Amino acid sequence: MQQRTEALYLKNLGIDTNQEYVVFLRRDCPVCKSEGFVALNRVEVTVGDKTIIASLNIIENKILHKGEAGLSESAWKAVNAKEGDLVQLAHLQPVQSMHDVRSKMYENRLNEAAFHRIIQDIKDEKYSNIEIASFITACSGDHLNLEEIKSLTKAMIQAGSILKWNSKVVVDKHCVGGLPGNRTTPIVVAIVAAAGLTIPKTSSRAITSPAGTADTMETVTTVNLNLDKMKSVVEQEGGCIAWGGSIGLSPADDILIRVERALEVDSVGQMIASVLSKKAAAGSTHVVIDIPVGKTAKIRTEEDAEKLKYYFTVVGKSVGLKVRVIISDGSQPIGRGIGPSLEIQDCISVLKNEPEAPEDLKERALFMAGCILEFSDLFKRQNGIQLAREILESGKAWNKFESICNAQGGIKEPRVAEFHLDILSEKKGVVSEIDNRRIAKIARLAGAPSSPSAGVYFLAPIGRKVEKDELLYTIHAESIGELEYASDYLRTQRDIVTIL
């Protein structure tokens, strides 16, 4: 046990550092002098029976009085602090797993024990964001081989709890991303749960896209479920659509994703480990993975997709998952909405069997749901897609979606953006190509996903004939400033939608 410093009293400074825990001290604080603390030191912070690890920031002005210390908002909540509470600080012992990270930075191969040390320390929040970023960067690109991906996946599973269900077959699905508007999950979960299968769907928030499934579902229901609530929903309805970060399965993954989002990095090896560790931790036995391939999708070539398919299958098998990989068309956005509220509106339209519902989203969701249904012995001799269609078109899927939302905390109407900008065709012709990445960037600049109703409503699929000045898409924003950000970017771009 380390010798702790003399006590200080907490003052709430109201400083938001996102999820990075920070402790603030005056430069002339006796603790700084006696302990030799300097800015950016990692220190143990104890308030009552709660201890966290935080980065030290030094205050030069008089915002703190002598004998006072401050905490960032996230740190304040983590230790349940109150104004005037006693706080004690202690030196953090060197984090030994950083030796493994440094080894990886020099392109050495790591074994399972090394990944276990790193992931355990990340889970225990012994790493600063800078140290986490160094690990993510060292593993990015093709810097993880197949054995390392297996080891990383196992380490991430072992760092958290694993759910157990009473069903022999527990199903799930995931799309690797890179395709704007491809929000099939709410539809698929509703169909599969309505068919009687167990599908405990935990979803991520956006990393580099305008919306993750958790962002999208949050516009209509509660997704921040704790573990007991998630279990209750699944036991009652057969499925759920919850944010994985609130449940604590594969907890290190949520910390990694937070930093990946800031870096706008989504490396293949870590993506595989992230996806499969979450599926295994959620108790899934069978998983469908969708890999869209296209010139401006995340996965750009069939060759890359086949390699990724092999990795998903082999790594999945190593952790006890039966994985079916689908390589799909990633040449253009799916549906019309790009952004949380706009995407859920598409999903609801499909689930309600509205005549104007986007057909491409419907058919893609039916294909995914059909593949999942065929995992079960109950449906192996049936056409899974046809069965999925019957469930959807009968209204059972919409009823199940409503029931899941109500079980998670109630269903509400998604917000509608106040500000809009129509983008018109500059000439007559046929839409021949769409830049997925730049369409997604427009949606993000307009505010998605942090502004839930922001994004792009897209009306120009490949093959559509358009006249000059015909509407191609509409940008939605919650503020004039965000609309101007997107508009300024758009003025510098050509051929986001190519018309010949």
Structure tokens at 414: 């998604």
Rounded to whole angstroms, how far apart are CA atoms 299 and 171? 24
Rounded to whole angstroms, how far apart are CA atoms 64 and 41? 19
Beta strands 322-329 and 286-293, pairing class: parallel
**Whether residue 266 lies in the annotated active site:** yes
Contact 290, 175 (CB under 8 A): yes
DSSP 3-state helix, strand, coil percentages of the chain (rounded to 5)? 40, 20, 40
Catalytic residue chosen out of the listed positions 100, 266, 346, 435: 266
Beta strands 86-91 and 8-12, pairing class: antiparallel
Evaluate the omega torsion of the peptide bond into residue 449 and state whether it is cis, within 30 degrees of 0: yes
Contacts of 354 (CB under 8 A, 6+ apart): none
Rg of the chain over all Cα atoms, to the nearest angstrom: 24
Structure tokens at 158: 């072992």
Helical (H) or strand (E) element with 457: strand 455-458
> Any alpha helices (H) in 319-453, and if so which ranges?
340-351, 359-373, 384-393, 396-408, 436-445
Active site residues: 266
